[in-house]
Amino acid sequence: MRKTVQLAGNTTSLEIALCFDLWRFIMAWKNEEEADVVITAVTSVGSQVSANGIIGFIDQVKHTSWWSNDVDPPQIGDHLHAVVLDDTRDPPRLSALQSDIDIARVLREREKSR
């Protein structure tokens, strides 16, 4: 992903790299976080998704069409509600399955009560 940023005139390439690393950290998804995403690419193994400039990936088995013939397969431009399963992967892995979303909600509630 390429971003354009206005930086001070004498900015070094190291400072620029640190800026982008910081931006990626701030803008990163966290495990069990929910997001409304848009499908930006479809492959034979899953779909690339995006939300607010953050890229993720939904494996084919984490899309409802894998489990039901009544659901259309993913298409570019589809809007989904998803949850982050693994924020350590590049890109992060998400799921659009309601069961995974429900599990994430339970885990977040459990974290709050600690």
Cβ 76 vs Cβ 38: under 8 Å: no
pLDDT in tens, 14-35: 655 544 444 444 458 899 999 9
pLDDT in tens, 39-85: 999 999 999 999 988 999 999 999 999 999 999 999 999 999 999 99
Classified as helix, coil or strand, 91 is coil
Give the C-alpha separation, 72 to 85, whole Å: 23
